[in-house]
A and B are shown apart, each in its own frame.
Chain A
Amino acid sequence: MSLLEVRNLRVTFGGTAAVRGISLKVEKGETHCLVGESGCGKSVTSLAIMGLLARGGRRDAERLAFAGTDIQNHSEREMSRLRGDRMAMIFQEPMTSLNPAYTVGSQMTEVLRRHRGTPRAQAVDRAAELLGRVGITAPGLRLGQYPHQLSGGLRQRVMIAMALMCDPELLIADEPTTALDVTVQAQILRLLAGIQKELGLGILLITHDLGVVARIADRVSVMYAGEVVESASAENLFADPQHPYTRGLLSCIPVPGKVKRDEPLGSIPGVVPRIPPGYVGCAFRDRCPHAHAECDGAIPRRAAGPDHEVLCTLPAGWFGRQAA
């Protein structure tokens, strides 16, 4: 039984299809990265899983199960009992998700007091312990401070510690390090990886940064225009990318020592298209150098190797064969 199982999830906002039938699983102790560019639907996916879609958002799935239980028909009350307790979430910008009017301590302890009814003194001990665990020196001092008194890196550590207050089984992290300096990003990611190993949690990490993905993912799903276009283990995805979009993205990244200065980087021409309802065919075809007539029809999801799926009309091993 997977910790999180999403099968054929769709999200629409009015006439716009934001998520168009995605499936993914997160196992216990695994980091699954959902990667894609802005507007591909990755954040909406995470909000849909947590039942936090904005008004007007409609969610529909064949299955949306947390720890074996389908949560699609959970009431708002049942969901809020799960959120922050067994499934927790970290957002990109900690300043907007922390309440500026309350101290770090009162926000952290609230989670535990509300979900578990833990007495205040005990909750404070737990908060201090977790702040220490996420590498914050002088946790006692920090508990009494307000969010604006902390640096961006510290705030994100507080968010992580707060997410861990109730020992969640699943952690959904939406761009947790995007607003941070590279040096702090490395520290926060190391921290997440360490905590995961220690506590065995499942992490669904949403990011646009393939560098982050390569370093911490076990599994990767690449999203484009509301669909998962390629899904594989991190090792296979980077060693043998099979979707033209994945390959395009990888060629865009300057890698020190690999791309010579002044040599042009690879790039993907054009922009992400608007997807009207009832869209048929591959959403990437207008930007794809390998597009052909078949791309206008229904696109098969085919196996490209063990545990490696691609949403593309090109035959399996196309790129491998081309290179040889």
Chain B
Amino acid sequence: MSAVPAIEVRGLRRVFRVRQGLFAPPRHVVAVDDVSFAVPAGSVLGVVGESGCGKSTLARMILGLLPPSAGEVLVDGQRLADMDRRARARLIQPVFQDPFSSLNPRRRVRDIVAMPLVAQGSISSADIARRVEEALARVGLSAEQGTRFPSQLSGGQRQRVAIARALVLRPRIVVCDEPTSALDVSVQAQILNLLAELRRELGLTYLFISHNLAVVEHVASEVAVMYLGRIVETNESEALFAEPRHPYTRALLASVLTPEPGLGVPDVGLGDTMPDPANVPAGCRFHPRCPLAFERCPVEVPRTTPNGTGFVECHLAEPA
């Protein structure tokens, strides 16, 4: 394993200008706010958080689909901004949430999977056909299924197509943005097992984005918890789940409903204030919902306190 991280993100920030009305002045929504982390090669970083926390914006910047407002992304030690599209595509590939909208409905499966190879522009058609077949076989699809259209496949099969397309260029890194959220649990299990198998066999690195903590616990070796654009806690998976330090991480963990009858529905204790990315609270951004907030929280931004292999941003975790 090389010492160069598969993904490194430094001071990444993304601001969107949002107009609320025709004559209203534009507002600035900071979707990702000064985020830094590194993902070692061969590991799986799970990113969790509620909707609107900026996790998909983060994924799109790492994929090079969205330019950052500030900061930089390094993939395999190289600056993403310096790479051309073809080189980038050979290194890092996405798998998105909804296999119903991420596949072109008017193309056959094998043409969809061939697209990244064709876009490279330098691969012979015989090679393309061979590699497409190989990629389909890897994800458990037959050559016959390759001749079908996406509408003729089930949700799970479509997600396999999306994975085959991501793997056909033999990338080192795959960014999975909610890859199983649109699927039934029995299909979700098939896809998670497939992703785990592929990672082992091909030595892939995953950035795995999900709102489902049970899924993240199952697949991730490291976890980052995002809240309103910032990573508020990160650590090795075991440590984070065994000993969550940030009150938000604890609340997220408490709200996982495991199939254990008799436990009832937990009281998460977050109140009914909802986070608004266009209006990030002063001080600690989590304080309006935090059950443990005290007088420093609305005024002072918490420092980044090292914790295990990661860090936590909470006044309560700061050394006295």
- Report the nearest A residue to B219, measured CB to CB: A261
CB distance from A125 to the nearest CB of B (A): 21
Kindly name the residue among B51, B184, B217 whose own CB sees the greatest number of chain A CB atoms within 10 A: B184
A-B contact pairs, 17 of them (CB 8 A): A152-B51, A183-B50, A183-B252, A211-B258, A214-B258, A214-B263, A215-B261, A217-B261, A234-B261, A237-B261, A238-B259, A249-B185, A252-B186, A253-B185, A261-B220, A264-B197, A267-B186
The answer to whether B186 touches A255, judged by C-beta atoms less than 8 angstroms apart, is no
Measured between beta carbons, the chain B residues less than 8 angstroms from A210 are 185, 259
Give chain B's interface residues, CB within 8 Å of chain A: 50-51, 154, 156-157, 184-190, 192-193, 196-197, 200, 211-215, 217-221, 237, 241, 251-268, 270, 272, 274
The answer to whether A256 touches B258, judged by C-beta atoms less than 8 angstroms apart, is yes
Measured between beta carbons, the chain A residues less than 8 angstroms from B185 are 37, 208-210, 249, 252-253
CB distance from B78 to the nearest CB of A (A): 29
Kindly name the residue among B256, B257, B268 whose own CB sees the greatest number of chain A CB atoms within 10 A: B257
CB distance from B200 to the nearest CB of A (A): 8
Q: How many Å lie between the Cα of A226 and that of B48 in the bound state?
A: 35
Measured between beta carbons, the chain A residues less than 8 angstroms from B263 are 214-215
- One of B197, B220, B261, B266 near A186 (C-beta < 8 A): B266
CB distance from B98 to the nearest CB of A (A): 14
The answer to whether B51 touches A265, judged by C-beta atoms less than 8 angstroms apart, is no
The answer to whether A183 touches B270, judged by C-beta atoms less than 8 angstroms apart, is yes
- Report the nearest B residue to A40, measured CB to CB: B184
CB distance from B77 to the nearest CB of A (A): 26
The answer to whether A252 touches B267, judged by C-beta atoms less than 8 angstroms apart, is no
Q: Does A185 interact with chain B (Cβ within 8 Å)?
A: yes
- Report the nearest A residue to B248, measured CB to CB: A183
The answer to whether A193 touches B265, judged by C-beta atoms less than 8 angstroms apart, is yes
The answer to whether A208 touches B259, judged by C-beta atoms less than 8 angstroms apart, is no
CB distance from B173 to the nearest CB of A (A): 18
Q: How many Å lie between the Cα of A211 and that of B260 in the bound state?
A: 7
Q: Does A262 interact with chain B (Cβ within 8 Å)?
A: yes
Q: How many Å lie between the Cα of A187 and that of B262 in the bound state?
A: 17
Measured between beta carbons, the chain B residues less than 8 angstroms from A183 are 50, 251-252, 255, 268, 270
- One of B154, B200, B259 near A213 (C-beta < 8 A): B259
CB distance from A186 to the nearest CB of B (A): 4
The answer to whether A186 touches B259, judged by C-beta atoms less than 8 angstroms apart, is no
A183-B252, A193-B264 given as contacts; is B218 within 8 A of A271 (CB)? Answer: no
- Report the nearest A residue to B237, measured CB to CB: A261
Measured between beta carbons, the chain B residues less than 8 angstroms from A217 are 261
- Report the nearest A residue to B238, measured CB to CB: A261
Closest A-B pairs by Cβ, 6 of them: A211-B257, A252-B189, A254-B218, A267-B189, A37-B184, A268-B186
CB distance from B267 to the nearest CB of A (A): 7
